[in-house]
Structure 1
């Protein structure tokens, strides 16, 4: 199905949790037309006046997605993270509907692998990726200038790691070596 180039600045965001809502609001600030879909009435009502369109729907229902016109979008983001089944089924439906650019949020690498297999073109692991970014900003690895708010490499080396001569304690559920 041919998509209208005039609608290329439209995006469907499915799931309005922390990730999906932050993404949708930022895309609005950047001038995108955002259609957001979530199953929670209260969540949709909370964002209805700040987004182009907000709809209450089950994102795993193909008929609901068709009625909302999601199949006509060139871009979609699945922001569902905690409900793995809904995340995977929604991503699969978007692929079946022929959405050409599907981004999906994963909560771990296995989830990411499944999302790619069912049709996601791009998968993000926000907590993992943010952890890596913060590691680059951690004390001893960089410094932030209060006047410019830019991050630059630190001129002082990281403190040396203290090495312990004590072995790691055995977890309480682990079998003891004395009984072997």
Structure 2
């Protein structure tokens, strides 16, 4: 895997989510400072992360002592201790961290984190549950919601758009969606195929995989039409 050099990140809370995030960032070439309040957790990560320390993230002096104020990006990955999560986020804002990400476990938790200074809030369990629900509900093979009520899906083309150039299929008028990429069926000429950009002249075939973008309801209806 090619390394991608980016700004250092401090990850506070090394449970399942935080440790996975810290390890993935490290593997991608990002310098990470891992922080957790439990010495046993820090010890277990010491051989896997180059920089990991034990500290109470609800104490602003402790955060200063380990150099957190020098970071521009931070992730509060604290799990079920909502009070610690909120206070830590607030202290990071007080320290002037310019890009604060925080993990939420409920909508109320999400709202509070935003109010106290989080710039981005993620809810991994809720987001994954919603994604799986979309995958189970029909012909959608993959689903990523990129904004409120806007998504990218991977699916196969409905029967009535097969064999017709995309410019003639009137997908935006009929469905309110856009096909942005296509991966021809792998069986074609026995060759390995990859996703390529779709153009107005692209003609879809049965078995192709396509990436479709649009409002959530629209892409779901499009996928169900097949």
Provide the TM-score with structure 2 as the length reference.
0.60
Matched with 2:87 is 89
How many equivalent residue pairs?
Answer: 147
Matched with 1:80 is 78
RMSD: 2.3
Q: Which residues of structure 2 form unaligned runs of 5+?
A: 143-152, 160-222
Distance 1:154 1:107, change over 3 A: farther
* Distance in structure 1 (CA, Å) of the matches to 2:136 and 2:104: 25
Contact residue 137 and residue 151 of structure 1 kept, 8 A:
no
Distance 1:135 1:52, change over 3 A: same
2:118 alignment partner, one of 120, 123, 130: 120
Deviation at 1:138, TM superposition (A): 1.3
Matched with 1:53 is 51
Describe the superposition over 1:103-154 as per-residue Cα deviations: whole angstroms up to 9, x where unpaired.
Answer: 000001100000000000000011111112112221633348xxxxx95359
Deviation at 1:68, TM superposition (A): 0.6
1:152 alignment partner, one of 148, 151, 155: 155
Structure 1 or 2: more strand by fraction: 2
What does 1:126-137 align with in structure 2 at a 5 Å threshold? 126-137=124-135
Q: Which residues of structure 1 form unaligned runs of 5+?
A: 1-6, 145-149, 159-180
